[in-house]
A and B are shown apart, each in its own frame.
Chain A
Amino acid sequence: MKPILNRSIKLICCASLLMLCAAGAALGQGARLQLASLDRFESIADRTVDVTVDQKVLQLARPFLQRSKDPNKQKINEIISEIEGIYVKHFTFEKSGQYSQADIEPIRSQLNNPAWIKIANVRSKRRGQNLDVYTQVNGNKIGGLAVIAAEDTELTVVNIVGPIDLEKLSELEGSFGIPDLYIVRDRDDKTQKE
């Protein structure tokens, strides 16, 4: 009886330790997603955009935005005031079917976590769209954002770490000094007209 009791206590201790480690790792990770599994698309994709905006880049960008008198840049400066990082991976494929939903599963599995809440999900077989928006809520604030936009010939994953105002972020589209990609909007407009 005694050896069984001892073994049970040991097992419980080991399980507790593992749970503590997992919790620690989850806390340390925060809202940052591991996007390295998407790197293999770089060789397949027709066009790849990989943007990593970490603390260092944010620190460098802030003085430029602060000096600027452009109201849009001032708005961006407000939006990024508490952000810790923005990570974007965008792939454009020549033809559809060059990637599957299973390829995005490593990203989705990270979001299948109580810390993340799926706030929007759009599935369209006709358009070949699978859009998901996740947020990580810390108290009353959004502590992180993840967007997975899987389309026929495009795959985009956006991960924002840190508090962000989604309304202000939505307002930014097309208001930058650099030209915007209207491909998606045009196609949507055409689809609506049809």
Chain B
Amino acid sequence: MKDDYLWDRSGEPDAEVLRLERTLGRLRHRPRPLELPRSRPLPRWRLHPTLAAAAVLVLMLLGAGVWLALHRSADATTQRLIIVGPRPVSLVGLYRRAESFQPSVGDQGKQNADVRSDAERASRQRRRLEAGQAEIILARRARERREERMMRESEEAAEKLMLALRYASSKLNLVQRQIQVNKEHGPAS
């Protein structure tokens, strides 16, 4: 048997080959133009006025929040300084509370720990304040002592000067008196 049919479709084909050809022939290539899928246009940003207004509002709210937070923290610092400065009694009270603090069990534990830490902080502030006040007092005393010493030295110098002037004045007057006596009574010697 020649298998020219399989090679170039010449000659007599085999029945089995024809059957296969018919079966697979349905799937053979049929040339047709290329069909590309239709591309959808990309969505373009559109400015929605309501959305923009909302965004501006949100930004403004955020800005106001940040400013308020900063402002409040600055106020809190100032207030703390005011408390530390002229009213150390409250800090003393907290310090005493810390000293007399007894730990308890149960739900009060956390609260007590907070109170204790506050009191310790207050006592530290009190000690710092006391140290600062002591320094100020010492500096003031040193300045007072220095001024007092200068005043004393100045007074001593003035006394010394007055003593010297008294001698000078006294001797000048003595000469004047003697000249006057000599004028009135003639030569004394």
Contacts of A177 in B (CB 8 A): 162
User: Nearest-CB distance from B184 to chain A (Å)?
Assistant: 9
For B155-182 the 0/1 string (1 means CB < 8 A from A) is 1111111111111111111111111011
**CB-contacts of B131-189 with A (<8 A):** 151, 153-179, 181-182, 188-189
Query: By the criterion CB–CB under 8 Å, are B161 and A181 in contact?
Result: no
Taking CB atoms, residues of chain A closer than 8 Å to B181 are 188, 192
Inter-chain CB contacts under 8 Å: number:
123
Contact A178 B162 (CB under 8 A): yes
B173 near A170 with CB under 8 A, answer yes
Q: How far is the CB of A126 from chain B (nearest CB, A)?
A: 6
- Report A-chain residues with C-beta under 8 Å of the C-beta of B165: 76, 79-80, 86, 169, 172, 176
- On whether A61 and B166 interact (CB within 8 A), knowing A131-B171, A147-B172, A149-B174, the answer reads no
Cβ of A160 under 8 Å from chain B: yes
Residue from the list B151, B159, B167 in contact with A88, Cβ < 8 A: B167
CB <8 Å contact, B175 and A120: yes
B161 in contact with A184 (CB, 8 Å):
no
CB contact under 8 A between A131 and B175, given known A51-B160, A124-B188: yes
Smallest CB separation, B153 vs chain A (Å): 5
What secondary structure prevails in chain B residues at the interface with A?
A: helix
Chain B residues within 8 Å of A3, by CB: none
For A64, give its contact among B157, B172, B188 (CB under 8 Å): B157
Q: How far is the CA of A186 from the CA of B59 in the complex (A)?
A: 102
For A88, what are the chain B residues with a Cβ–Cβ distance below 8 Å? 163-164, 167-168
Cross-chain contact of B172 among A57, A80, A166, A176 (Cβ < 8 A): A166
In the bound complex, do residue A188 and residue B177 qualify as a contact, i.e. CB atoms below 8 Å apart? yes
Contacts of A90 in B (CB 8 A): 167
- Asked if B157 contacts A122 (CB within 8 A), the reply is no
Cβ contacts under 8 Å, A86 to chain B: 161, 164-165, 168
- The distance from the CB of A122 to the nearest CB of chain B, in whole angstroms, is 4
Contact A63/B154 with A90-B167, A147-B168, A176-B162 known, Cβ cut-off 8 Å = yes
Binding site for A on B (CB under 8 A): 151, 153-179, 181-182, 188-189
Starting from the known contacts A61-B154, A122-B175, A147-B175, 13 additional A-B residue pairs (CB-CB under 8 Å) come to: A58-B157, A64-B155, A73-B158, A87-B164, A122-B182, A124-B188, A124-B189, A133-B175, A169-B165, A171-B169, A172-B165, A173-B172, A176-B165
Residue contacts A-B, CB under 8 angstroms, 22 given: A53-B157, A60-B153, A61-B154, A64-B155, A65-B158, A73-B158, A80-B165, A86-B161, A88-B168, A122-B175, A122-B178, A122-B182, A126-B188, A149-B174, A158-B164, A169-B172, A171-B169, A180-B170, A181-B170, A184-B170, A185-B177, A188-B174
9 shortest interchain CB distances as A-B pairs: A60-B157, A61-B157, A64-B154, A61-B158, A86-B164, A173-B169, A122-B178, A64-B158, A51-B164
